[in-house]
């Protein structure tokens, strides 16, 4: 009954943590592609091949359902995988869906025409690859009209978090927020479009100010997954044990993960 969670590195642990708290009885198989992180500076074909390889490993681990807990992978690889690769009986879901559901206050199955929503000025903070894909804007346009999205490519933030340099990560976040505000002085909402960013969410909130609503993905993804599994219990795979896998150095990745989640996390070689 295992569910797979894939990320380019450690950021997806924020999703793992939220899902584990929401669905404590579901074994979770986490795979971090730490050997190739960050994805945000890679081209689309490279991201697709790396993501497909990681998802295939999770299928082999007994997962019928895999969550791409990586916005870059969701933006650059998910649609292509769903259209041409995902085996019958398997399912791969991204992290944009719950986010846009929350932002537009409409369910994913609602196929009515796009309509006006409560917010009109949205700041998107994401990796360079996610920004370049314009996947967020495309999916949002299917459901909402009149929303101005200003995207800020947050170069360096993921690298700093992966290296454990939170002082540098904070400085970069504040610099990127300043750059965004020069383009959109008064955003009503801000989307943290990378699962690494909840690790510095309080810095984003402080830099943006209390008047900006901040949408962060882990809790939204967990709630959406719980709803999905309630409607599709057949997508719980045959795996029975939770495990953490990495393409990187297990000892080093375990140490970083333990620092991030403030609990003992032991990774194994993928």
Reported as a single tens digit per residue, the pLDDT across 180-192 is 999 999 999 999 9
Tokens of 220: 């939204």
- Facing residues of 42 across strands? none
Task: Please say if the pLDDT value at position 102 is more than 60.
Answer: yes
The percent helix, strand, coil of the chain (3-state, each to 5) is: 45, 15, 35
pLDDT of residue 110: 66
H or E, element range at 92: strand 91-93
Collapse the DSSP code of 233 into the 3-class scheme (helix H, G, I; strand E, B; otherwise coil) and give the result: helix
CATH (one of 3.30.70.20, 3.20.20.10, 3.40.640.10, 3.40.50.1860) for 97-217 = 3.40.50.1860
Q: How far is CA 130 from the centre of its chain?
A: 11
Collapse the DSSP code of 134 into the 3-class scheme (helix H, G, I; strand E, B; otherwise coil) and give the result: coil
Q: Based on the residue annotation, tell me whether 194 is a catalytic residue of this protein.
A: yes
- In the chain the first and final C-alpha atoms are separated, in Å, by 20
Q: Based on the residue annotation, tell me whether 63 is a catalytic residue of this protein.
A: no
Using alpha carbons, select from 47, 86, 45, 38 the residue that is nearest to residue 66. Answer: 86
Could you tell me the pLDDT band of residue 1, with boundaries at 50, 70 and 90?
low
pLDDT average, residue stretch 221-237:
84
Which range has the top average pLDDT, 179-183, 212-216, 235-239, 259-263?
179-183
Task: Please say if the pLDDT value at position 108 is more than 70.
Answer: no
Collapse the DSSP code of 125 into the 3-class scheme (helix H, G, I; strand E, B; otherwise coil) and give the result: strand
Q: 100, 102, 126, 194: which is the annotated catalytic residue?
A: 194
CB atoms within 10 A of CB 233: 9
Reported as a single tens digit per residue, the pLDDT across 134-152 is 988 988 888 899 999 999 9
Dist. CA 4–CA 226, nearest whole Å = 14
Beta strands in 154-197, from DSSP E residues, in sequence order: 189-192
Domain boundaries, the chain: 3-94+218-269, 97-217
The answer to whether 3-94+218-269 and 97-217 have equal CATH topology is yes
The domain 3-94+218-269 having CATH identifier 3.30.420.40: the answer here is: no
pTM of the model: 0.86
pLDDT average, residue stretch 30-38:
94
Q: 19, 70, 123, 180: which is the annotated catalytic residue?
A: 70
């Amino acid at each position: 009954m295992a569910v797979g969670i894939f990320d380019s590195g450690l950021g997806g642990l924020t999703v793992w943590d939220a899902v584990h708290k929401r669905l404590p009885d579901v074994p979770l198989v986490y795979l971090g592609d730490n050997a190739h992180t960050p994805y945000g500076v890679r081209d689309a074909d490279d991201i697709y091949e790396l993501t497909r390889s990681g998802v295939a490993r999770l299928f082999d681990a007994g997962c019928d359902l895999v969550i791409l807990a990586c916005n870059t992978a969701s933006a650059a690889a998910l649609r292509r995988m769903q259209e041409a690769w995902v085996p019958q009986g398997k399912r791969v879901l991204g992290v944009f869906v719950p986010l846009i559901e929350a932002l537009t206050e409409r369910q994913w199955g609602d196929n009515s025409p796009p309509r006006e929503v409560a917010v009109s000025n949205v700041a998107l903070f994401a990796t360079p690859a996610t920004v370049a894909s314009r996947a967020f804007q495309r999916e949002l346009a299917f459901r909402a009209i009149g929303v101005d999205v200003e995207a800020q490519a947050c170069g360096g933030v993921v690298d700093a978090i992966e290296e454990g340099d939170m002082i540098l990560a904070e400085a970069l976040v504040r610099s990127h927020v300043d750059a965004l505000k020069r383009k959109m002085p008064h955003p009503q909402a801000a989307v943290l479009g990378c699962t690494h960013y909840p690790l510095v969410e309080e810095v984003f909130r402080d830099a943006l100010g209390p008047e900006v609503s901040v949408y962060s993905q882990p809790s939204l993804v967990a709630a959406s997954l719980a709803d999905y599994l309630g409607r599709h219990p057949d997508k719980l795979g045959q795996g029975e044990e939770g495990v953490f896998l990495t393409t990187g150095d297990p000892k080093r990745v375990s140490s970083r993960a333990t620092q991030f989640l403030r609990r003992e996390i032991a990774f194994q070689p993928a």
